[in-house]
Structure 1
Amino acid sequence: MLEDLGQQALINIFSHLFFIGIAFFALQALNFEKLIRANRVFQARLLYILLTVVIGSIASNFFLDYLNWSRQLQLLF
């Protein structure tokens, strides 16, 4: 039973890191320079990182929920 929890934790960690990386890659397509005030580079980078984490976490949670639901489908039959 503890093995299953450890495997699930590992899957969750890798899923979150993977989707955060994908979100970072996708956000690079946007041109944020037009939205940034002058001399606010640190704040812009912080916003970029926070957006990446939020979008990646939402996508990862969706994927993990879908994975768990698909595993529970076998309990119907």
Structure 2
Amino acid sequence: MLQDLGQDAIFNISVTLAVLILVWWAIQSFKFDLFVKDPEGPKAKLLMILVTLALTHLVSQFVLNYFNWSLMLRHLL
């Protein structure tokens, strides 16, 4: 039982870190300088980090929920 929880935790962490890397890579092509006054300033960098974390949370939760729902389908019949 506890071993399954540990494996789930490692899987969730791995998926979240992979999504974080993908989101950070993808957000690099977004032009923040069109929306902020000083794109090189600390506030703009903090905004970029917060947007990255928010998108990472949303995407990783979607992926993990989809994976869990697909595992639950075997209990349908």
- TM-score above 0.5: yes
- Length, aligned pairs only: 77
Unaligned 5+ runs, structure 2: none
Give the whole-Å Cα distance in 1 for the aligned partners of 2:15 and 2:38.
Answer: 36
Alpha-carbon distance between aligned partners in 2 of 1:38 and 1:6, rounded to the nearest angstrom: 44
Match of 2:73 in 1: 73
After the TM superposition, list the runs of 4 or more consecutive aligned residues in structure 1 that deviate by more than 2 angstroms. none
Point out which structure has higher relative CO (alpha carbons under 8 A, 6+ apart).
1
Root-mean-square deviation (Å): 1.5
Per-residue deviation, 1:13: 0.7
Give the match for residue 48 of structure 2: 48
Corresponding position: 1:6 with 2:3 = no
Give the TM-score taking structure 2 as reference length: 0.91
Larger deviation: 38-47 or 8-17? 38-47
Q: Structure 1 pair 23/9, CA: closer, same or farther in 2 (3 Å)? A: same
- 26-35 vs 58-67, which moves further: 26-35
Deviation for aligned residue 1:34: 2.5
User: CA offsets per residue over residues 22-48 of structure 1, 9 Å max, x none?
Assistant: 111111111112222148710000000
